[in-house]
Chains A and B, each alone.
Chain A
Amino acid sequence: MSTALLDATGLSVRFGGVRALDGLDLHVGEGEVIGLIGPNGSGKTTFFNTLTGFVFPADGRVTFAGEDITALPAREVAKRGIARTFQRLRLLLELSVFDNLMLGQHLSLDHGVWANIVARGGLRRSLEKQRETARALLRYFSDSLPDRLSEPAGSLTMIDRRRVEVCRALIRDPKLLLLDEPSAGMTPDETRELMQDLQSVKAERPALAVVLIEHDMEVIESVSHRCVVLDYGRKLCEGSYSEVSQDPAVRRAYLGVEDE
């Protein structure tokens, strides 16, 4: 097992009487890509929300790069280097593609009064640099997107929005990237394309760890080093794709439906 980056132990979350997570353990090593699968309502998104400080567990602990982040709110978690996408896209549709990417860059920007209001030379230089960064990142995913920086995100097609959202999460070079069902609403071809692009980004960032929630088993098979199957907020099983897909409990609970 590689160096521990993220360690979740015994995570439990309750909404009213429902157990959304029930004693979940997950270990993510540096540079690892993990596929997180499980039927709807099995707690995948809740798990992401717990890691990123949107939901607080009733029980259990999360450590990230050796630090206990269980009780940290979302903005503090972001500072530690965890970035995420949302299952229902949450781009700021009225704002430009560039502005959306710069939200991802928020923690690296100078928000001081001096630079922004009084002497704006620094702001100009920073803008120039950030536009370059944004274009370079978008170029991994599309040839046309780098030229559309100033267009409102709301004018993009679904797949381009997805790409921008992924770039927004990537732009600050996080240590851990959480992708919440990036293929939702896309065709299988588009999904495959997005995954290939992601892999070329990943190839240049060997230390970047990724946890991917995905329903498409082919995607899981092609990109993930390891699979974790959730059911009723619990870990049903864990292992390589072939191990997991052979597991009788998994086939009963989940894959049986998907294989057909």
Chain B
Amino acid sequence: MRTPSILPALFATVATAAAVVLLLLADQEWEVATMAGVAVAVLLGGMRLGWGETVHRSATAHRRIVTPVTWLAGAVAIFLLREHNFELLMLCTVMIFMIAGLGLTVQFGYAGVVNFAAAAFMGIGAYTTAVLMNSTALPHPVVILLSGLVSAVIGSVLLLPLLRTRGHYAALITIAFGILFRTFLEVNDALGGPQGLKVPGLELFGHAFNDAIEINDDVEWSFYLNYAAGALVVLFLAYELVRRIERSWMGLALDAVRLDETAASAFGLNGAAWKITAFSIGNFLAGVAGSLYATITAFIAPASFTFSDSLILVSIVILGGLGNPLGLLPAALVVVVLPEKLQVIQEYRFLLFAILVIAILLLRPGGLIPRRAREYPE
């Protein structure tokens, strides 16, 4: 068979990056609406004409080139927005939601462990970061890692009830945990109560992220450029981690737990151990996402980590295509950027996302970009 051309993959990558930049820079509502319309048309048309398949084959055949190009395109997109504060902040939010979404992908998508408290685990990461940064001199990368770890460890409190129950019962446990977490924050004065906490800016090797970058007297780049670059690096690491998990024996074990734990145990698989692994990895990533969120927004409060926010995160994962990390980008764009850009729908966004998810579940359960069969490393 002839090797597919590299062009479709490169084109898709560059077009996606360009679309993201254009979407973020669009300041007229009709522009945003047009772009959303075009995106839907491309998606539907592409489905008919098998574009997804073409791009996929091209990307698979040239993975060694396409993968770095993709991340480079992301970096270029960020660089193009260097003077736009608000747009960069939005892009950071998109990336943070994607990191948390990667965590949920491992939990829901691979192991089939439900978690309707993802926002609460982000909150644990965020509050850990606030406390550690305000009261210790730990290097900030260490703080981010610790935030993820604390989130995973606190999550393990739920493991006993989660392992002993399944499906709907497990959902209730995480929902109850989310409600408890918020109540706890609101009555806890040491953590700022309902008013929340301030978070200092990130610092890395003496470089303060909150300082704008002065190029010369006339040109000044947004300080969010620091954060966007940092978030991209973390996103890259998280994405690689989740991809490699899926494309390895670990991914197979997790899938087996989700699809038929009983049958899998007949071949020696320890379902509980794999669920613990998945739940912890997912909460770790949510905690890291929350940590980044705290440093970028510089301020956190219980109201940012509610049950509705958890539902939003789950919506992203379902919308994108459960188990496919690639789908997180379009889904996060829809969920984060569209309401900001289209003020008309801002107020109605929870309603619209809920309807969207219902429609997806009924009509296209695989999501925008359905998960593909496992591709082991060649």
Contacts and interface: CB of A to CB of B under 8 A. Distances in A.
Direct A/B contact, Cβ within 8 angstroms: yes
Interface of A: 52, 54, 73-76, 78-79, 83-84, 86, 90, 92, 94-96, 99, 102-107, 109-111, 115-117, 120, 123-124, 126-127, 150, 152, 168, 172
B249 A102 contact: yes
23 contacts: A74-B265, A75-B266, A78-B265, A78-B266, A90-B263, A92-B256, A92-B260, A94-B255, A95-B256, A103-B267, A105-B267, A106-B253, A107-B268, A116-B244, A116-B245, A116-B248, A116-B249, A120-B248, A120-B377, A124-B377, A124-B378, A127-B377, A152-B373
B249 A109 contact: yes
A94 B253 contact: no
Contacts of B266: 52, 54, 74-75, 78, 83-84, 86
Contact of A73 (B244, B260, B265, B267): B265
Contact of A75 (B249, B269, B376): B269
A86 B248 CA distance: 26
Given A106-B253, A116-B249, A86 B267 contact: no
A99 B252 contact: yes
Contacts of A104: 267
Interface-centre pick from B241, B245, B250, B263 (highest chain A CB count, 10 A): B263
Contact of B269 (A94, A99, A106, A124): A106
Contacts of A92: 255-256, 259-260, 263
Interface string B227-268: 000000000000001001100111011011001101111111
A120 B255 CA distance: 20
A116 B266 CA distance: 23
A111 B249 contact: yes
Contacts of B250: 111, 116-117
Contacts of A172: 267
Main DSSP-derived SS at the B contact region: helix
Contact of A127 (B256, B269, B376): B376
A61 B151 CA distance: 45
A186 B39 CA distance: 48
B264 A96 contact: no
Interface in B326-378: 373-374, 376-378
Nearest to B241: A117
Given A95-B374, A96-B373, A107-B267, A123 B262 contact: no
B188 interface: no
Nearest to A117: B244
Contacts of B241: 117
Interface of B: 241, 244-245, 248-250, 252-253, 255-256, 259-260, 262-270, 373-374, 376-378
A150 B372 CA distance: 12
The 6 closest A-B pairs by CB, nearest first: A78-B268, A116-B248, A90-B263, A107-B268, A74-B265, A92-B259
A52 to B, nearest CB: 6
Contacts of B263: 86, 90, 92, 103
A74 B270 CA distance: 9
B259 A94 contact: yes
A99 B262 contact: no
Nearest to B272: A75
Contacts of B373: 95-96, 150, 152
Contacts of B378: 124
Contacts of A54: 262, 266
Nearest to B375: A150
A168 B267 contact: yes
Contacts of A116: 244-245, 248-250
Contacts of A107: 267-268
A123 B260 contact: no
Nearest to B264: A103
A94 B241 CA distance: 23
A96 B374 contact: yes
Nearest to B265: A74
Contacts of B268: 75-76, 78-79, 106-107
Given A95-B252, A116-B244, A150-B373, 16 more contacts: A74-B262, A74-B265, A74-B266, A75-B269, A86-B266, A90-B263, A95-B374, A99-B252, A106-B256, A107-B268, A109-B249, A116-B250, A120-B248, A120-B377, A152-B373, A172-B267
A83 B249 contact: no
Nearest to A104: B267
Nearest to B378: A124
A131 to B, nearest CB: 9
Contact of B374 (A76, A99, A115, A120): A99
A172 B255 CA distance: 20
A92 B252 CA distance: 11
Interface-centre pick from B256, B259, B265, B266 (highest chain A CB count, 10 A): B266
A99 to B, nearest CB: 5
A32 to B, nearest CB: 21
A102 to B, nearest CB: 6
A172 B266 CA distance: 12
Given A123-B377, A127-B377, A83 B259 contact: no
A79 B270 CA distance: 11
Contacts of B259: 92, 94-95
A75 B248 contact: no
A117 B262 contact: no
A111 B267 CA distance: 14
A125 to B, nearest CB: 11
Contacts of B374: 95-96, 99
A58 B244 CA distance: 45
